[in-house]
Amino acid sequence: MNAYYKVFKISLANQLEYRVNFISGFLFSLFPFTVNVLLWIAVSYQSKDMPFKADGIVSYYFLTLITYNITSTVSVFKISDDIRLGTLNQYLIKPYNYALYQLASDLPHRFIFIVMNAVSITVLYFLLQRYFVFTLSLWKALFFVLFLIAGYLINFFIDFLIALYSFYFSRVSSLYTSIRVLKNISAGIIFPLVLLPESVFSLLKNLPFAFISHIPVSLLLDDVPLCTAFISLCKSLGWITLLAIFCAVVWKRGMKIYSAYGG
């Protein structure tokens, strides 16, 4: 574990040199946040069947803004390039797990985002506070943090799995983009999943993508019982385990065809 901690510290030090990027990135993400809020508020005024009113929409997209930025990962193309260009070799001879190494390298991005944007999020919270309809309790705050961790790990393993297909294809950008669009829709980032037909909603809320944003947001917005939250957390752990196994299988098969010069 000491080796991964050193990787984390080195990556953290490197990312701190570009800390302004994290602030600007968050500020730019406020644009789609504003567009989504204004769009769905307009829809809510025109439709009596809309399950959210204006305050619910503001609350939903504010929480989605936080969950999306915290659970995002940035390692997919780094891993893909390591495989495609042959730089994976330098990691294979070292005494640590490559997946854990990438996880330790990716975590500082989320850590710096939280630290650097804490003030921005706090200011936004107080500006919009009168529109919020969610309430926090100790157990909800605890489960919200646990769901964020689970959502991040699910996101990481999904991206890691996509990157591993560089063993078979020279480029994974198209695959990544397609899955990212599907993921953002299925996670409720683009629009609330409750707007979908009941059958579709029931399917999507049980997929791993839902744990990236929909479930942690619903935890704060809805009257979710403690036992239901615990069951959802267990499901997220199940998905993490399943995705980790898939990654291990694809990694093992990929290593059989991997060549020292890449591909």
DSSP 11-78: HHHHHHTTHHHHHHHHHHHHHHHHHHHHHHHHHHHH-TT-S--HHHHHHHHHHHHHHHHHH----HHH
Task: Give the residue from 183, 158, 198 showing the smallest Cα distance to 75.
Answer: 158
SS (H, E, C) 69-118: HHHCCCCHHHHHHHHHHCCCHHHHCCCCCHHHHHHHHHHHHHHHHHHHCH
Q: What is the pLDDT of residue 32?
A: 75
Q: What is the pLDDT of residue 262?
A: 52
Q: Where is 237: in which H helix or E strand?
A: helix 226-257
Q: What is the pLDDT of residue 109?
A: 84
Length of the chain measured in residues: 263
Q: What is the pLDDT of residue 194?
A: 86
How many CA atoms within 13 Å lie on the side-chain side of 219?
Answer: 31
Angle, alpha carbons 42-46-48 (nearest 5°): 120
Q: List the chain domain ranges.
A: 1-257
Angle, alpha carbons 240-245-251 (nearest 5°): 125
Query: Whole-angstrom Cα distance, residue 64 to residue 29?
Result: 11
Give 126's contacts (C-beta < 8 A, 6+ positions apart).
Answer: none
Query: Whole-angstrom Cα distance, residue 6 to residue 19?
Result: 20
Query: Whole-angstrom Cα distance, residue 93 to residue 119?
Result: 42
Q: What is the pLDDT of residue 58?
A: 83
Query: Whole-angstrom Cα distance, residue 83 to residue 165?
Result: 9
Task: Give the residue from 243, 197, 190, 189 showing the smallest Cα distance to 216.
Answer: 189
Would you call 199 helix, strand, or coil by DSSP?
helix
Cβ atoms of 183 and 125 within 8 Å: the answer is no
**Hey, what are 244's tokens?**
């980790």
Residue in this structure with the two tokens 């309809």, named with its chain if needed: 133
Q: What is the pLDDT of residue 207?
A: 93
pLDDT mean by block of 10 residues, the chain; 263 residues: 81 71 67 76 71 78 89 90 88 87 90 78 82 84 95 96 90 89 91 88 92 93 90 96 96 85 55
